[in-house]
Structure 1
Amino acid sequence: MLEKTTLIAVAIGAIFASSVLQAETIDTRIGKLQFTHDFANGYPTDATVEKLFNEMDFQRAVQVYLWAIPFASMAQWQYAHREQLGAENGQAVFLESYKDRLGGLTYNATTPYVLPFIDLAEGPWVVVMPEAEVRGAAHDMWQIAITRMTEPGKYLFVGPGQGVPKDAEAQGYRVAKSPSMNLLVGIRLMATDEAQRLADLEAIQVYPYAERDNPKPRGYIRPKGKPWMAAAPKGLAYFERLAEWLE
């Protein structure tokens, strides 16, 4: 009797196993996922494992893309100034005409802009705002404001890990610490008279703090019809630009 009961139990178990533990395929957004048995009790096949890891990599890439949108946009903007327009470190790009600003993303159509990118890798830099109708602000590479520049005077920008020069504030510098090694200074020329605007432009000075005793302002350039684009690149180039600036 015991032997018969055991055989019945084994038969029932086999029937249950064959009905519950048979291979299962599930349709998902990323395609068909196959399992050795049913989803709850089986294991993903080798092909499914590879597909899932590929999806994880894709999702991480999407997260990086979204996380870095502000930074990548600023990196491309700085790249455009340097590589496409030929601006040196601290040298402003002066945008006056409508054609000049075609490569930008959020410019006003009529406002004259003075835009120097500054790389602080070799030490602090100075921006001199004249007593004139000029208004500005500095932003880090995450497009977060560092300081307003609405008052005339000398603004001293110090990079990550750099000490503030001794007695800088006592010497009249307005000290601003940048969270990123590169930053953008954006200045608007507000005078309505063209001659006055150009005089104000010439009075803006950007130079390394190391040159404070004999400054050599980096001046400005104009696009002069050169094509340029500040929008973040597409595809793999987006990640390449991001990696280049982060490193």
Structure 2
Amino acid sequence: MKFFSIFSIFFLVSSVTAANFAWDCTKSLGTCQNYCYAAKCGRMGRRRFTYDSNANARPGRRKASGCKRNPCNDKKLKFGKFGNSCDEFPFASVKEGGRNAHLRCVNINENRSEGGQLSGFYKKIKNGDKFGITIKNYRRASYCAAKPKCRNDGGQFKLKNGKFAPSRQGLNSTEEFDLDNEDYFVLDEAINGEEMEPLPLRQVETDDGEIHLIIADDLDDPISVGHEIWSESANGTVRVVREIFE
């Protein structure tokens, strides 16, 4: 059952502007699968990313993540069942990208859709800006479900110790970790082979009627009623009008 947030009563008198990016999964379902696997099953959600406008830094991050090695076209690896274009999360365009990124082979058109949407958003922010991410039209992405089955579908993998290996589930929800520690991004291995609980993520509705799943957020100032989110499909910002509780 869905309820209006108590914060809704403040909507008409409260306005908060933040750097948040709305990702439309309609033409990039495979990349959304990767992000939701990382956020929920790899327990990387609830953390913003830092834009790096230096394009010269991106090849190094792609090399560190493994995407530069073109794993999706290597028949020996068998990760290319969903496409032949390597997608990485976090992106190579953010300072948190590179080593230990979650990888998935996707259709090249999905990666192009991702790149086009990001490019439009990056024109609205400055180098060093931190930003949150929401996704919409994600219902067909199984890892984006409220309580997804986090078993690897054969498409999730990482570069580890110089070799590509299938991804495994993330930290137990009771495990404590430091969100400011750069090693946070390596803690996605199951503990003693146990099946872990996926990280629960919040949903919001914006004034254009779209439902968003929040996969990257500011813990000190979480996306809520009154916050703005940049949306390519709206060619501008949309405003959060309610939080959704299931």
TM-score (norm 1): 0.23
Structure number with bigger Rg: 1
TM normalised by structure 2 equals 0.23
Q: Which has the higher contact order (CA 8 A, sep 6+)?
A: 2
